[in-house]
Amino acid sequence: MEVTLNGYYTLILATLVLLLGRFLIKNVKFLENFNIPEPVAGGLVAAIVVYALNFFWGYSFDFHQGLQTACMLMFFASIGLSADFSRLKAGGSPLLIFTVVVSVFIILQDTVGVVMAKAIGLDPLLGLVTGSIALTGGHGTAGAWGITLEEQYGVAGATTLGIAVATYGLVAGGIIGGPVARKLINGMGIKPSEDNPNPSEVEKLASEQSLYSTKHNEDEAHESRDMFSKPDNIRLITASSTIESLALFAGALAFAELMTMVAEGTWFEMPTFVWALAGGVILRNTLTMVFNFEMFDRAIDVIGNASLSLFLAMALLSLQLWQLTDLALPVLGILLVQTLVMVIYVYLVTFRIMGKDYDAAVLAAGHCGFGMGATPTAIANMQAVTDRYLPSRKAFLIVPMVGAFFVDIVNATVLQIFTQLPFM
């Protein structure tokens, strides 16, 4: 028996999923340690309940797709509206270099996923799901591209698989980041601060700066638009700033709808959510650079975070877990290879190109975090390293900016190119 829920009931269930996720995160240490998002924790439990209702009693649920799509587009528009290219000056050449390093890895990640998928007889588009769609992209990108692959390309189970892969990536990224950085740092002869009873003047200075570094870490992450690393932080907004921000969101979504219609059937046809991101980028940088408009970033943060949480909750409610049965073992093999590729890449490329110094080692830990999981995982990895060794202002300046929005822009571009290749 199919149960259809309108927008009101879909929203009620989505908020209940988020409240359940918050409860689980606070009470299950594993989930907290590996930075599992609240929508994922609660949503997976809800998906299991929905599966049980279907398996034992034959119930299926049809949730309101329009509300889910709107939240997805709002989330990607928020990324675009926060992509202030003038902040490139703050990061300097290391920011540009790190962005290139990350971009090359995204291409490598998708290549590995597609090649392995074809080798074991899977649809190569599923290779993209086990590549940068879910790993570098995280849950939001996995849900958005999953819907696109299912509706436009007929890839069954893409959303379910994407959410599962993104969850694996969060855990894997949190596991490998610290050990990788520790091995690199030990190779430079730097010891943990607690192993130095008579620290040198440099280490004394680093110790004195630790409190500043912690605050600098938080301030820099916020200033660099690390929107999704601390979604529960209090942000002071007003009704007028919210209204103005909603107008910007509306403009980005209108641009996305228009470009989706204009580009249909052409060489530059892209999913609507990519146009929403692009619309946000264009609006942001045109208004700030040409008209000196002051953006209300705090309001954009709040709206973007709320949209992401609701979208993920609704996406997870709609999961069909039975679609993963035949894919479990092959996909696990691909993911283990992707994890190995991530480790090798940060050793041989990220660490070396970024300077082969302590900052480069911390950047390598951060790259493991959002290369396999998400920006919050990257921040957690780097905090674990700097808490044990020395501060790294450079890493905490660069990683939030690249991980929060530059990587999404690059990832969307790379994925669009891959989907148009003839062998896909």
Q: Give DSSP secondary structure letters for 351-401.
A: HHHTTSSHHHHHHHHHHHHHHHT-HHHHHHHHHHHHHHS---HHHHHHHHH
Beta bridge partners of 62: 4
Digit-by-digit pLDDT tens for the chain (424 residues) are: 788 889 899 999 999 999 999 999 889 887 776 656 788 788 888 888 988 888 888 888 888 888 988 998 998 898 889 877 776 666 678 989 999 999 999 999 999 999 999 999 999 999 999 999 999 988 888 988 998 899 888 888 888 899 889 888 887 888 888 889 989 998 887 766 554 444 443 344 344 334 333 344 444 444 444 444 445 566 678 899 999 999 999 999 999 999 999 988 787 777 888 899 889 989 999 999 899 888 888 899 889 888 988 988 888 787 776 666 667 788 889 999 999 999 999 999 999 999 999 999 999 999 998 899 777 678 778 888 888 888 888 888 788 778 766 888 899 889 989 988 887 7
Cβ 324 vs Cβ 164: under 8 Å: yes
Q: DSSP secondary-structure letter at 197?
A: S
- Contacts of residue 217, defined as CB under 8 A and 6 or more positions apart, other chains included, come to 379, 383, 386, 396
Q: How many residues are listed for the chain in this entry?
A: 424
- Tokens 């398996």, residue located: 55
CA atoms of 391 and 387, how far apart (whole Å): 7
Cα torsion angle, 423, 138, 36, 99, sign: positive
pTM of the model: 0.73
Task: Give the max Cα distance, the chain.
Answer: 72
β-pairing verdict for 60-62 and 2-4: parallel
Alpha-helix runs per DSSP H in 188-271: 201-208, 210-223, 239-263
Q: How many other CB atoms sit within 10 Å of the CB of residue 219?
A: 12
**Of 137, 159, 135, nearest in space to 147 by CA:** 159
CA atoms of 387 and 322, how far apart (whole Å): 42
CA atoms of 113 and 335, how far apart (whole Å): 8
**Of 128, 135, 140, nearest in space to 339 by CA:** 135
